Amino acid sequence: MKGELPKVANGLAIEARGLFKAFDGKTAVDGIDIHVPEGTIYGVLGPNGAGKTTTLRMLLGIIDPDRGERRLLGREAPLEAAAEVGYLPEERGLYPAMKTKEAIAFMGALRGLPLALGRARAEGMLRDNGLGDYVDKPIKSLSKGMAQTVQLFGTIVHRPRLIVLDEPFSGLDAINQGRLEAMIREEAAGGATILFSTHVIAHAERLCERVAIIAAGRVRFEGRVDEARGRLRPRVRLRTRSTDGAWRSALPPRADQENGAWLFELPETGVEPLLRALIDGGAGIEELSIERPGLHDAFVAIAGEAAAREMGADAPAGDEA
């Protein structure tokens, strides 16, 4: 992204209230509210089947909600903003015989970018990202990761203000996932707003400033990642030489043990009284650390164990969930 992007009057790239959608009498999305500030990286987080794709398609105007309101880049009719949006759907598709440069330029042309300019930008993007040898080679000659990178280039070649990615990390190995994360950060640094859906919590935790946690078609939380994590108190991990003594009374009744260490929520009184009781009681502290809850812990607390298990089952091999 280059240059200064115009601003939406209220500072929201996307806003939606009460979005509802049913298919064949079955509710897919049930009253979703979402507010995406301009210039942020925003994640829609939830297991497969939670309603993420339906939500994105309604926000973009690909399908209409049965009821509810949405506004995209200040427009009440989302398709009016189509030329300023880059959209990478979950269902990928490139013409196998088309040359790589031409495929990127063609996708840009669909958003109003002149073909000659699209070709020039495509060649630069490919060469800048180590794919210079594939500029004039057909899509069918690319690996799966390369092809997905090319499709992402086609999504952003017209330099959109808003980039919407539906499960962009699906099917990528760890190296290509890292490259995609770097590209998302680069676009955001240039002023674009990024909205992506994922069922892999680790991606959202690394990238997002704000998230919407969706389960069973409903938003269970919307806000900053640190606000979601802040719903849980920090945890203490404690390992002692002594196995028993007066110091044990300083531990909360619900303290658990894991691999010889005590795990419990940090007491409301803070760590200092705990330290004093452990030292005075002769616990013999070998390890004491305070661990801030991660987004996975927050997801479990917000959406429930069942939704978290679905997330774990859906995560690709090698991904954190």
Per-residue pLDDT tens digits for 71-85? 999 999 999 999 999
Percent of the chain at pLDDT above 70?
Answer: 94
Residues 180, 168: contact at Cβ < 8 Å? yes
Q: Which domain holds residue 282?
A: 235-291
93 inside domain: yes
pLDDT at 316: 43
Tens digits of residue pLDDT in 246-285: 899 889 888 888 888 999 988 888 899 999 999 999 999 9
Q: Which of 229, 251, 268 is the endpoint of a domain?
A: 229
Do 116 and 259 sit in the same domain of this protein?
Answer: no
Do 124 and 255 sit in the same domain of this protein?
Answer: no
298 inside domain: no
Do 146 and 247 sit in the same domain of this protein?
Answer: no
Domain count, the chain: 2
Do 212 and 241 sit in the same domain of this protein?
Answer: no
pLDDT at 148: 87
pLDDT at 6: 56
311 inside domain: no
Do 202 and 141 sit in the same domain of this protein?
Answer: yes
Do 122 and 254 sit in the same domain of this protein?
Answer: no
Q: Give the amino acid at 239.
A: R
Do 115 and 77 sit in the same domain of this protein?
Answer: yes
282 inside domain: yes
125 inside domain: yes
Task: Catalogue the long-range contacts made by 217-224 (C-beta closer than 8 Å, 24 or more residues apart).
Answer: 217/27, 217/28, 217/29, 217/30, 217/32, 217/50, 217/51, 218/30, 218/31, 218/32, 218/51, 219/32, 219/33, 219/34, 220/302, 220/303, 221/298, 221/302, 221/303, 222/33, 222/34, 222/35
What 3-state DSSP class applies to 3?
coil
Percent of the chain at pLDDT above 90?
Answer: 64
Cα(70)–Cα(157) distance, integer angstroms: 26
User: Which pLDDT band holds residue 160 (cuts at 50, 70, 90)?
Assistant: very high
Do 205 and 81 sit in the same domain of this protein?
Answer: yes
296 inside domain: no
What 3-state DSSP class applies to 233?
coil
